[in-house]
Structure 1
Amino acid sequence: MFGLDTLGKAVGQLVNGFETNVRQGQQQLEKALGDAGVLDAATLSTITEMSDAYRTMAEDLLLHPLRFAGAELDLARKHAALGHYTLARLVGKHKQPVVEPEADDRRFQAEEWHKHLPFDVLHQAYLINSQAFLNWAAGMEGIPPAGRDQMLFYARHLTSALSPSNFPATNPEVLRITWERKGMNLIDGGRQLIEDLRQNPSLFNVGMTDRSAFEVGRNLATTPGKVVFQNELMQLIQYSPTTETVSKRPLLIVPPWINKYYILDLTARNSFIQWLVNQGQTVFIISWRNPGPSLRDKGWEDYMELGPLAAMDAVTEATGEDQMNLIGYCIGGTLLGSTLAWLKKKGRNPVASATYLTTLLDFSDPGGIGVFINDHSIRGIEKMLERKGYLDGRAMAFTFNLLRENELFWSFWTNNYLKGQKPAAFDLLYWNTDGTNLPARMHSYYLRQMYLNNRLVKPDSLNLLGESINLSEIDVPSFFLSARQDHIAKWKTTYKGALAHGGDVRFVLSGSGHIAGVINPPYKEKYGYWTNDTLVPDADAWFEKSEHHPGSWWPHWLEWIARFSDGDVPARIPGEGKLPAIEDAPGSYVKVKAAEAVKQ
């Protein structure tokens, strides 16, 4: 007994000493880098989190050696099986692989990974080791869920970065191309890398698409219309009708300002906006300004006042209608919920119905982005915001890409820089890289009050424009559309938001993810959706009783909103009402790039 106590104390002292030494060294390094101006506060904060995560893993190894020994034994068994597999292949026998990639893992799909034994063994060994490492990280004890998620995030990124597919000497497909092209692929890849670094000198974003193939207003965002109103934060676009009559109540869309509105109007065939116009809707949409340092003090209340509130007044002036239907997408939906709760407190009723597309109102489980949501990370971001006055839209895009790093970073790394191939022209990826900056005050408020403190869903916890708001007091009929594979706004969390929302609420679940689950035109006949008219406290219970329908959710939503259209009127021509046309759609605000905005 004495021996075990002594051993326990010795291990404890060893762990404490290890933690102290590592933390001191980490702090000294971070201070030196910060003082030298090499890294900004947000980057230093991320480095701290990564260091903390890996240090915690090392401490767990010291404190639980027996559990680690068990994991090592399992790892040894799998490598022994891989040895038997190797011998079998050497003598020409067919044998099932010891491990195979996940169905959505495309890194090792090329024939060379399986045809040539050294690379077959190499990629299987990598999969065995990386899965063992991730299992170890997931099994660490005494760590709160948020800390475990963060640790798994950094562990996953470490294993992804070390994949043999990411290096020319260990990727057989790259070696073949290098032999066939006599090394020109690496030269071409180097040129592309230099060009991408030149485009983003302060933040490296891998090239995803042929940017020369697209232009907003030429082959993207081409639905005809006019800008009929603008202020310092947004332009309001009214689209030209394609039907002789339209619904009496106009439709106003509040898109996200984390990226640009034309995700809803990429091409005519896939455009949600064009489809709405063709269904006889008078469609208005907010096109947010791409802000720079001059708008650093614009906050959530400014976005509400100069966004949907100003837009609703403008829609009323343009059409003469006192009531309208609203759609909010992503953070635009969060702003819509805030606005409706404020309008209720003010006794105003300009909204006949509200539609929320993949919208978080309850932020208790923020999805993949949650690994960045903690006080330490936010303080680091706020220091950077205070210095610059904005969050660079390219940094935001990079952050979201990290949530699916193999698909949205490493695949392009391999294709562009190792294979020397130019990225294909893809409208969705062009939009994904056409980011918008975020004003310092607004972004700090959003991170702290919504994500960190989850105050929007708490009654009377937020005060906006002089009123304490309460989502449960909203009595506007609402339609919530979420996506089953959404990794940004997890559907079960959006379901909690629907439960917190007052009034008659309908919840519909689409297949696919945050973008494809929403932008799903009927002609594609893809994904399907689930309906259940009865909201129950538990999301899983709702899903168990739901009914699946094939195809797009768009026609289902159109049937729902028809109840709030108030009949038909002759089609409205943009600019012929009380609001004259300012310029053609898509307007000028949407064409401003993130890098250009910071110079204004």
Structure 2
Amino acid sequence: MTEKFKVLFWMQDFKTARTTDASPDPKDNTTARPLRQTLARHTGSSSPASFLPMWTNWGLHLSMAPDKQLDLAQTALKHWANWAHYVAQGCPTEAEARPTPIPKTDRRFHGEGWEKPPFAAMAQGFLLAEDYWDKVTSDIPGLDPSHDRALTFLTRQVLDAVAPSNFVATNPDVLARTIETGGMNLHHGFSRFVQDQQDQDRKTGNAQVGAEVATAPGHVVFRNHLIELIQYAPTTETVHPEPILIVPAWIMKYYILDLSPDNSLVRYLTDQGFTVFMISWRNPDAADADLGMQDYLDQGPRAAIDYISSVTDAAKIHTTGYCLGGTLLSITAATMARDDDDRLASMTLLAAQTDFSEPGELSLFINESQVSFLEDIMQAQGYLDADQMMSAFQMMRSNDLFWSQMVRKYLLGEDDAPMNELMAWNADTTRMPARMHSEYLRHMFLNNDLAAGRYHVEGDPVSLRDIRIPVFGVGTETDHIAPWQSVFKIHQLAHADVTFALTNGGHNAGVISEPGHKRRHFRIHTTRDVDKALSPDDWITAATLEDGSWWPAWAAWLADLSGPRSAPPKMAKSLAPAPGTYVMME
């Protein structure tokens, strides 16, 4: 629990950040701050200078709003009276008799045990407290909107930590299991906790790679310090002349797009008659601390495009970027447009942001003070560790990704369910070099330089407005990392025809949406460059709702932009069989 609260205070609102100069050199000893590094380690990279002003701002504005204070007092009195009446009636099970309904998406208080006193009273009291504190931290006159959102989110995380479902004595399911097993569930849970602490720093990778996942046949055909480029073997007698380059995020292992044979995006594309190349990023360590965004651009998509052009003789190349890889791909496309390089046939962005003015809940928790503290940590270790990143993502869905797992593993004493391929991939984490991550946070999150036309490549600015190739964008309805409304902003940035698909699911599951996947649907609509701009709400109205996977619609879009099919290009000289060596680095 302590580590989770450290994460909460690592991330704070960044909306008040101002444009700053280039990020400091993480290898420059003149900027070494051992005192701050020590403090950051003990606070989980949390900057007190960022945390305290938020509470002060809230307290001052609330003290100057007697009408809000009166409203809160009336709310507290109403909640107390309703709860007391509910308890006095014996906690009836009828939904209309409860002071507040239990949300269907909140699985903490579902079950027969929570319908009986005293546990029903505890659950209702907690839900009423959540509602009250939401009101306490929201809609304060004059409060900075970013502080409003951050404080509301932070308060909800604190409340989630003290929910009655998290403790043995106040969780009827845990008590019943304890009686049933004679306390062995708690013994087993404590053993699991000790083992997890011992295993916390052990990185074992994913033993399934190359055997059960990342199995699409192909070869590593190009390698530099940062990437291995995989060319996949054709599965059709003829292919379109334009190959597809996929640029995954370097925060993840590439095989999210080549999981099991049944849900591999790579296999699907080759089966549709495309020649597919995939970037596999190196897992950096402390020796790579000085690698920056320019290195990732030069050794990543730019190097891959140059190689593909030379070995396939393709006049045009389709490009696809996923998450951070899409952001880097958009920089690549803008740079090529600036330099009159017309080798790109199209650009597809999968849950990838290009405008970071509204990047979702992560935006609430990064400001100059926090980034500076994070740089101190990275200066000492040379990279950002995967656990430091994953904890932040977990807190955005703390009930589902953290507290419910803690209850299941340590209180109920349940064994882990068999790990599916997506769970195994998620556990196969990577690191990020200090310089690159500092530059990414500053240029994108803090300053939004790319969307504003201030981002420089090789000394000159690039503009997304120079992109005039067709764009296909994909957003997912429940994405907590790259909200679809933020991904949608490519409409206003590129000078291009944009086909946008909004699919159900989250950041990963919405993208890995193979044909035949149950309960899938998506909306799709094309906005021409000459059309009037649509807001996200207007786009929803204009878009066509379709059942099933969005993959066939994308494949058809790619085919329409491709030339007639002919014999596949020869496979380039193999450096290693797929999945390569970089994906195995721990």
Q: Does 1:563 align with 2:557?
A: no
Q: 2:431 aligns with which of 421, 430, 437?
A: 437
Q: Does 1:68 align with 2:69?
A: yes
Aligned in 2, Cα 1:145/1:477: closer, same or farther, shift over 3 Å? same
> Where does structure 1 lack aligned partners over 5 or more consecutive residues?
1-32, 206-210, 594-600
Aligned counterparts, 1:322-341, within 5 A: 322-341=315-334
CA shift at 1:105, angstroms? 0.9
1:152-190 residue CA offsets vs partner (Å, 9 max, x unmatched):
121111111110111111111111111111111112111
Q: What letter corresponds to residue 304 of structure 1 in structure 2? A: L
> 1:413: which partner in 2?
406
Aligned in 2, Cα 1:382/1:42: closer, same or farther, shift over 3 Å? farther
Aligned counterparts, 1:543-558, within 5 A: 543-558=540-555
Q: What letter corresponds to residue 132 of structure 2 in structure 1? A: A
Q: Does 1:169 align with 2:162?
A: no
CA shift at 1:328, angstroms? 0.6
CA shift at 1:218, angstroms? 1.8
Aligned in 2, Cα 1:213/1:166: closer, same or farther, shift over 3 Å? farther
CA shift at 1:347, angstroms? 1.8
Q: Distance in 2 between matches of 1:323 and 1:462?
A: 26
Residue 206 of structure 2 contacts residue 424 of structure 2 at CA under 8 Å; is this kept in 1? no
TM-score normalised per structure 1: 0.86
Q: Distance in 2 between matches of 1:90 and 1:505?
A: 54
Q: Does 1:540 align with 2:534?
A: no
CA shift at 1:497, angstroms? 2.2
CA shift at 1:58, angstroms? 4.5
Give the secondary-structure state (helix, strand or coil) at the position aligned to 1:117.
coil
CA shift at 1:345, angstroms? 1.9
Q: Distance in 1 between matches of 2:329 and 2:236?
A: 28
> Where does structure 2 lack aligned partners over 5 or more consecutive residues?
1-33
CA shift at 1:122, angstroms? 0.5
Residue 214 of structure 1 contacts residue 220 of structure 1 at CA under 8 Å; is this kept in 2? no
Give the secondary-structure state (helix, strand or coil) at the position aligned to 1:258.
coil
Give the secondary-structure state (helix, strand or coil) at the position aligned to 1:139.
coil
Q: Does 1:279 align with 2:279?
A: no
Q: Does 1:472 align with 2:469?
A: no
CA shift at 1:212, angstroms? 9.9
> 1:137: which partner in 2?
137
Give the secondary-structure state (helix, strand or coil) at the position aligned to 2:263.
coil
> 1:347: which partner in 2?
340
CA shift at 1:95, angstroms? 6.3
Aligned in 2, Cα 1:354/1:541: closer, same or farther, shift over 3 Å? same
Q: What letter corresponds to residue 550 of structure 2 in structure 1? A: W
> 2:420: which partner in 1?
426
Give the secondary-structure state (helix, strand or coil) at the position aligned to 2:86.
helix
Residue 260 of structure 1 contacts residue 288 of structure 1 at CA under 8 Å; is this kept in 2? yes
CA shift at 1:73, angstroms? 2.5
> 1:14: which partner in 2?
none
Residue 521 of structure 1 contacts residue 552 of structure 1 at CA under 8 Å; is this kept in 2? yes
Q: 1:454 aligns with which of 448, 453, 472?
A: 448
Q: Does 1:380 align with 2:377?
A: no
1:95-123 residue CA offsets vs partner (Å, 9 max, x unmatched):
63221222211111232111x21001111
Single out whichever of 125-134 and 259-268 deviates more from structure 2.
Answer: 259-268
> 1:12: which partner in 2?
none
> 2:361: which partner in 1?
368
> 1:492: which partner in 2?
485
> 2:123: which partner in 1?
123
Single out whichever of 405-414 and 518-527 deviates more from structure 2.
Answer: 518-527
CA shift at 1:240, angstroms? 1.8
> 2:235: which partner in 1?
242
Give the secondary-structure state (helix, strand or coil) at the position aligned to 1:422.
coil
1:301-326 residue CA offsets vs partner (Å, 9 max, x unmatched):
11111001111122223323232111
Q: Does 1:317 align with 2:310?
A: yes
Residue 37 of structure 2 contacts residue 377 of structure 2 at CA under 8 Å; is this kept in 1? no
Aligned in 2, Cα 1:510/1:437: closer, same or farther, shift over 3 Å? same
Residue 246 of structure 2 contacts residue 279 of structure 2 at CA under 8 Å; is this kept in 1? yes
> 1:112: which partner in 2?
113
Single out whichever of 127-136 and 96-105 deviates more from structure 2.
Answer: 96-105
Q: Distance in 2 between matches of 1:59 and 1:91?
A: 41
> 1:11: which partner in 2?
none
Residue 40 of structure 2 contacts residue 377 of structure 2 at CA under 8 Å; is this kept in 1? no
Give the secondary-structure state (helix, strand or coil) at the position aligned to 1:532.
strand
> 1:23: which partner in 2?
none
> 1:156: which partner in 2?
156
Q: Distance in 2 between matches of 1:292 and 1:417?
A: 33
Runs of 4+ in 1 over 6 A off after TM superposition: 90-95
> 1:402: which partner in 2?
395
Residue 40 of structure 2 contacts residue 373 of structure 2 at CA under 8 Å; is this kept in 1? no
Aligned in 2, Cα 1:213/1:286: closer, same or farther, shift over 3 Å? closer
Q: Distance in 1 between matches of 2:194 and 2:330?
A: 44
Q: Distance in 2 between matches of 1:399 and 1:77?
A: 35
Structure with max Cα Rg: 1
Give the secondary-structure state (helix, strand or coil) at the position aligned to 2:336.
helix
Q: What letter corresponds to residue 276 of structure 2 in structure 1? A: V
1:60-112 residue CA offsets vs partner (Å, 9 max, x unmatched):
55444553343232222223222222232379999632212222111112321
1:41-64 residue CA offsets vs partner (Å, 9 max, x unmatched):
872535554444445454455444
Residue 525 of structure 2 contacts residue 544 of structure 2 at CA under 8 Å; is this kept in 1? yes
Give the secondary-structure state (helix, strand or coil) at the position aligned to 1:457.
helix
> 2:182: which partner in 1?
182
Q: Distance in 2 between matches of 1:126 and 1:38?
A: 34
Q: What letter corresponds to residue 175 of structure 1 in structure 2? A: L
Aligned in 2, Cα 1:93/1:148: closer, same or farther, shift over 3 Å? closer
TM-score normalised per structure 2: 0.88
Single out whichever of 443-452 and 381-390 deviates more from structure 2.
Answer: 381-390
> 1:147: which partner in 2?
147
Aligned-residue sequence identity (percent) comes to 36
Q: What letter corresponds to residue 289 of structure 1 in structure 2? A: R
Residue 333 of structure 1 contacts residue 360 of structure 1 at CA under 8 Å; is this kept in 2? yes
CA shift at 1:130, angstroms? 1.6
Aligned in 2, Cα 1:36/1:529: closer, same or farther, shift over 3 Å? closer
CA shift at 1:466, angstroms? 3.5
Residue 220 of structure 2 contacts residue 231 of structure 2 at CA under 8 Å; is this kept in 1? yes
1:392-415 residue CA offsets vs partner (Å, 9 max, x unmatched):
112111111111111111111111
Residue 41 of structure 1 contacts residue 381 of structure 1 at CA under 8 Å; is this kept in 2? no
Residue 50 of structure 2 contacts residue 367 of structure 2 at CA under 8 Å; is this kept in 1? no
Q: Distance in 2 between matches of 1:103 and 1:94?
A: 12
Aligned in 2, Cα 1:464/1:550: closer, same or farther, shift over 3 Å? same
Q: Distance in 2 between matches of 1:201 and 1:328?
A: 31
Aligned in 2, Cα 1:165/1:110: closer, same or farther, shift over 3 Å? same
Q: What letter corresponds to residue 341 of structure 2 in structure 1? A: R
> 1:267: which partner in 2?
260
Which structure is higher in RCO with an 8 Å CA cutoff and minimum separation 6?
A: 2
Q: What letter corresponds to residue 275 of structure 2 in structure 1? A: T
Aligned residues: 548
CA shift at 1:580, angstroms? 1.4
Q: Does 1:305 align with 2:302?
A: no
